[in-house]
Amino acid sequence: MQKKPFGTTESAIRWHPDAEKAVGKAPFFVRKRIRARVENKARENGKKIVTLAEVKATQQRFLNQQDKEIKGYQIDTCFGHTGCPMRAVSSDTLVAQIETIFQQADLISFLKREVGGNLKFHHEFRVTVADCPNACSQPQIKDIGIIGAVMPQTTDEVCSLCEACVEVCKEAAIKLSDSEASPQIDPDFCVRCGQCVPVCPTGTIVSGQTGYRVLLGGRLGRHPRLAIELPGLYDEATVLKIISACIGLYKQKSRNGVRFAHLLTDQDVDRLADQFNKPSNPSSS
Ligand code: SF4
Ligand code: SF4
Ligand code: SF4
């Protein structure tokens, strides 16, 4: 098979290594947008390979028109929707609803009032959704991070002691013993990835509660902080309510463009946990 000269992307357009390197140096929160722009521009110009010149031209245009590009929020996802086998949930409808909430919240008008004419991408409210606890879209460093999760549950079906679940569990959360009828799953180690469910041939381990973990207030920058996780798993409707509450809190407290992650206090997190950590009704699908 003939070797391709340069790396390829999902969209089949090829990238020269210098172009890849250059786009990798753009701030992480605009990298995806610049990358998509570069590819679109190259396609428009009938190019098959993205070169450094195209990256530089697009990057410059993008940064020059920053104020027109800003919409007040950024919603990011992992690659679960492309068919990732690790996917614990399908977040497609949730992501669409999150987008609607942010559109309705009109954060761009809020930011224009608070910040004036010097809006930058770093002012935008950042949300990301990952479809499993591998968390490829970095929910730990976003204003709001959502992680799909499945709680494994044992049934009365007889375990054959095949050890498939033990082998697949990267957290060493499952213990088998001849004296126990079913495997023991340690909740302190289990990250709720759901990978032990499909490998169980007997139905001894099945999917239990399915929903989303919610992390709040993560950030990088001068004073980085990992997001704080609310306790429990939440269904889509509750995730949307939590997001709305966070937007309300942000509008109430943010002045001069201070990001949600910077204004969220431990007390705010406790209040949100009290408000939303009531028995919810996560789907079992
Ligand atoms: S977070 Fe999970 S589902 Fe999403 S791309 Fe990563 S491994 Fe796949
Ligand atoms: S859900 Fe994931 S972490 Fe938990 S026991 Fe199963 S394989 Fe291990
Ligand atoms: S995969 Fe199922 S049958 Fe096999 S050891 Fe685990 S619980 Fe038992």
- The 10s digit of each residue's pLDDT in 176-221 is 987 777 899 999 999 999 999 999 999 999 999 999 999 999 999 8
Which of 188, 193, 233 best tests ligand 2's pocket when mutated (most atoms within 8 Å of CB)?
193
Task: Evaluate whether 207 touches 176 at the Cβ level (below 8 Å).
Answer: no
In which element (H, E) is residue 127 found?
Answer: strand 125-130
To which residue do tokens 């020269």 refer? 16
Task: Evaluate whether 260 touches 217 at the Cβ level (below 8 Å).
Answer: yes
High-pLDDT (> 70) share of the chain, %: 91
In which element (H, E) is residue 75 found?
Answer: strand 73-77
**How far apart are the C-alpha atoms of 143 and 145, rounded to whole Å?**
7
Ligand 1 closest atom vs CA 77: 4
Task: Summarize the confidence of residues 250-257 as an average pLDDT.
Answer: 95
The residue whose C-alpha atom lies closest to atom 6 belonging to ligand 1 is 136
Q: What is the pLDDT of residue 4?
A: 39
Strand, coil or helix: 215: strand
**How far apart are the C-alpha atoms of 248 and 143, rounded to whole Å?**
14
Distance 152 CA to ligand 2 centre (A): 7
Which of 81, 84, 210 best tests ligand 1's pocket when mutated (most atoms within 8 Å of CB)?
84
**How far apart are the C-alpha atoms of 18 and 27, rounded to whole Å?**
17
Ligand 2 closest atom vs CA 186: 5
Question: Given pLDDT bands bounded at 50, 70 and 90, which one contains residue 282?
Answer: very low
Contacts (Cβ under 8 Å, ≥6 apart) of 42? 13, 49, 50, 54
Contacts (Cβ under 8 Å, ≥6 apart) of 32? 76
As for ligand 3, residues whose beta carbon falls within 6 Å of it are: 159-165, 176, 183, 199-202, 204-205
CA 23 to chain centre: 21
Task: Provide the CB-side half-sphere exposure for 221 (13 A, CA).
Answer: 15
Fold of 14-64: Helicase, Ruva Protein; domain 3 (1.10.8)
Question: Given pLDDT bands bounded at 50, 70 and 90, which one contains residue 284?
Answer: very low
Q: What is the pLDDT of residue 149?
A: 97
The residue whose C-alpha atom lies closest to atom 2 belonging to ligand 1 is 132
Q: Which of 82, 70, 79, 78 is nearest to 30 (CA)?
A: 70
Whether 22 shows a pLDDT value over 90: the answer reads: no
Q: What is the pTM of this model?
A: 0.81
The full set of domain ranges for the chain reads 14-64, 70-285
The CATH architecture assigned to 70-285 reads 2-Layer Sandwich (3.30)
Distance 169 CA to ligand 1 centre (A): 16
Q: What percent of the residues of the chain are helix, what percent strand, and what percent coil, each to the nearest 5?
A: 40, 15, 40
Beta partners for residue 73, in sequence order: 125
* The two structure tokens encoding residue 74: 């950024």
Strand, coil or helix: 138: coil
